[in-house]
Every structure is written in C-alpha cells, then in structure tokens.
Chain A
Amino acid sequence: MNYLLIRMGCAFFTGVLLSQSGSLIQLSTRNILSSPSTLGLDGLAVLSVLLIHSLTVFLGVHLHPAVIALAGIPLALIIGYCYPRFIGADQRFERILLIGVTFNLLVGAVFSFWQFLFLAFNLPFPVELWFGHFRFASLTNLMLVLFLQITVLILMRGMLKDLMLFSFGTQLSRNWQLNQARLFKLIFVISTLITFFVIVLFGAFSFLALVFPIISRKIWFRRHDLKGEFYVGAFLNGVLLMTIDFLCYQFPIMGAEVPVGLIITAVGAVSLITLLWQAHKPSEIVAKP
C-alpha cells in the first residue's frame, strides 16, 4: 500500500479520535478548557511510554510501538477508571486544570533530563515523542487506529442517549436516573485509551483535543448538535489534520520535515491563551460554546 496513503489515513484517524476525545472530556467536565493535555493525561501517557522505552533499552529488546500500545491497554483502563475520582466533585475546576498543565510541564522537564542522560550514554531515545508526527506511519499503525476508531464509535453509539441527557443539565439527568459516575468512567477510559494509543504510535499532539472540539462547534450548520460535533465535526477535524500533515510532508524546510505536532502545539497554545484572555470572569472560563 502506498506510503502517503497510509500516512494520510493515520493522520485522519488521529484527528478524528482526538477531536472526539476532547469533545467527550469537555462535555463531561462542562468546561471548554478541558482536554487530555490540560488534564495531564498527555503527560501520564508520555511518562508511561518513557518508562517502557527505558525498560526495553536496558533489557536489550525491541518492541514494536503496536505491541506497546496493546500492552498499555490495562494501564490506560486503570488511569481512565480512576481519573474521575481524582477530579471528584471539585467545584474549583480551574485548580484541576492548573495541576494538569503543571504536571505536563514537569513531564517536559523529566523528558529533557531523560533525553540528556540517554544521549550522554549514547543510547537511543525517542526524541519525536514530545511533538507527534506521522513519518513512521505503517499499515500496522493504521490498522490499530482504525480498530480504536471502530471501538469508540460502537461505545459512543451505546451512550449517545445518556450523553444527550447529560448535556441538557447535570441535575436534570440525575432526575432521570442517569448513572453519571459510570458515564464519567467510560468517557475517561475512552479518552485515556485514545491519548495512550496516539502517543505510543505517533507522539504527543498537545492541545489538539482542546482546539478541535471548539472548531467543531464553530461549524455553523452543526453548531447546536451533539451528533454533529462527534461525527461531522470530528470528521472535518480529521481532514484538517491530514491536510496540515500533507503540507508538512510536501514542503520540508531545508530538507527537514516540520513535525505536525509542533505546529498543532503552537496553534493550540495560542488558542488556549486567547480563550483565557477573553474570559474576564472565572464563570466565563466555563463558557457556553
């Protein structure tokens, strides 16, 4: 199969998955600044991959990223299951976001120090992990993200009614016997799985899951529709990421390809600053989209 086709497929499904992951998390926390990046899930996944990588280097074995992704499923399930408990019923959600962002910074520092040590001892180090890209896209990777996408779509179909009810109102959905704790666990398990798979296979795309749902909601003909955001919006975001990656591939700078994750992180960080800047009051951070 053509390399470019596989690569574009990987980029497309990554965009769709991260968009859906961000939408789910923003809806569950009712906060448009929530995402796997700002809640620290990205940092946890990067740290896990670093540990697994170090272990394989010291043991002298080479594991395909697909094997690591599959082996990490139980870990992702545990983190996803426990994370809603960590958030709890904290009324000051901004505190959780600050902890998440700070944790990511800490992981960034650990990452740099680890890189320094590995290079000092002339050991291989996954430098691309921090800024994701699709240069090493393979058919196996494509199959894995496709499998994950199908799983997510099946799960979403099963919980769409609950999500609709929950999106109307927290207390309203409680009155209708919606098991919110179960819904949150499912959402965080899905989001952690997506984050872990994407980081293992392609590296981190910080802030992408934050910005893409917001873009989805700006699509005028689907603005007030949950299904529109999860399906049509996520599809268009997949196309967007695929296009940006294609441009990175087609137009290298001085012969070197710019990692698409780098561009996404820069754009996402600027968007986050803009959102925070526009929020004059704390209540506006939890703004209606």
Chain B
Amino acid sequence: MSIFELTDPLFLPHHGCDVKFTASPGEIALLWGENGIGKTTLLQRFYKRFESEAVMVDQKALDFFYDRSIGVLLDFFSNSQLPGLEFSRFTHLTQIFDLSSKRDRLLSQLSGGELQMLKLTLCLCVKKPIYLLDEPFQYLDSNRRKQLADFLIRLKEEKATVVMVEHNLESIPQSWNRYHLILDESCLKVGP
C-alpha cells in the first residue's frame, strides 16, 4: 500500500463533514488539537478502514479479564509462535521498558506508566504496515519517552506508517509531520 487516506464523514459532533487526511509509508504523522475535537475518533475510523493492516494502541488495548502476572503475558508471547511476531522488536521493547524485572507483578498492581509500557510492547512487536497510536507517550517518564521516540523512528525507517494522537508536543522530534485538527464552520479540518 503506497498511500492511505480517509474521506468519510465523521461521527458527531462533526456529523456530515468530510475529513480528508493523507499519510504515506515511512511517515510519522502527529495529530494534535483541542480536547474533544475528534482526534481519537479519526484514529478509530482509520483503524476500521485498515483493520487487517493496522495495529491500534488505544486506552482499552489491554482490558484484561484475568488478573495475571506480567511474566505470564511475556512467556505467552515468547512461546506461542504468533504469526507476525517480530521477536527482535519484542526483546528490544522488553529491554527498554525493563519489563523482565517486573515479571511477578500482577496487572492490577501496575501503575499507569507500567501498564502503558506493557501495552506498547505487546502491540508494537507485531509487524504491520500501519501503526495507530492514541497518546503513546502518556504516563511515560522522560527517559522512556526518548526510547519510545527512537523506536518509532525505527518503525519509520522500516517504511511503516505511524499515525498518532498526542497532546504533549515538547517530547516530539521536530522532524515528525504535525497535523493540526481544527473546527471550521462546525466541520473538522486537518491542516499543517
């Protein structure tokens, strides 16, 4: 796939408005704008359109049912030979987020940051052409933010398309393409 774009009308409060947004392979596109403007909705619409080719990391990605330890999850991903698993990525993410030292911690006992790191590790180690990330830097400390940014640059170099929603622009490298979401006459517009 060379280019993907979304021109569907969005849900409320932008019902009936056409939103056009284009991103290319090897691009990190950052969507930003006011709260409630429809950034996450846009991301979800992207996912709906490109479900089989995309990975979505949102707030509900790890809505676990059984309260297990991190070790159980890591062992499952290590040993289950899941199709599309990039083992080098998995090992790299486990290392940078230092998850091996937390193997015995139960999911319910994890902090927001730890849960975010686990979620990112388990979602980003699958090889797909598109990655849709909803506030991936949330809850992370400055060191981990830097490491995650480096990892996303690695995805970019592998010609993957990364589209993310982020509020905190300070920790985002300047080279990443930024798209400002604004409301224009009740319609959502995506601008540079």
Contact = CB atoms under 8 A, between A and B. Distances in A.
Contact of A168 (B58, B122, B128): B122
A226 B68 CA distance: 9
Interface string A205-228: 000000000000100000111100
Contacts of A225: 66, 68, 72
Given A177-B84, A288-B108, A169 B64 contact: yes
A167 to B, nearest CB: 5
B65 A174 contact: no
A224 B106 contact: yes
A169 B66 contact: no
A229 B119 CA distance: 25
Interface in B43-75: 51-52, 55-58, 60-69, 72-73
Given A171-B58, A224-B72, A224-B106, A176 B126 contact: yes
A177 B51 CA distance: 9
A187 to B, nearest CB: 13
Given A164-B76, A288-B108, A176 B82 contact: yes
A289 interface: yes
Given A168-B122, A175-B61, A177-B84, A288 B67 contact: yes
A280 interface: no
Q: Residue among B63, B76, B119 with the most chain A CB within 10 A?
A: B63
Contacts of B192: none
A237 B55 CA distance: 39
A170 to B, nearest CB: 6
A159 interface: no
Q: Residue among B62, B65, B83 with the most chain A CB within 10 A?
A: B65
Interface string B119-136: 100110010100000000
A30 B83 CA distance: 25
Nearest to B61: A171
A223 B44 CA distance: 34
Interface string A159-185: 001001101111110111100000000
B67 A289 contact: yes
A27 interface: yes
Interface string A45-86: 000000000000000000000000000000000000000000
Interface of B: 51-52, 55-58, 60-69, 72-73, 76, 80, 82-84, 106, 108, 119, 122-123, 126, 128
26 contacts: A30-B63, A30-B65, A164-B80, A165-B76, A167-B65, A167-B66, A168-B64, A168-B73, A169-B60, A169-B64, A169-B119, A171-B56, A171-B61, A171-B62, A171-B63, A172-B62, A172-B123, A174-B56, A177-B84, A223-B67, A224-B66, A224-B69, A224-B72, A229-B66, A288-B66, A289-B67
Interface of A: 26-27, 30, 161, 164-165, 167-172, 174-177, 217, 223-226, 229, 288-289
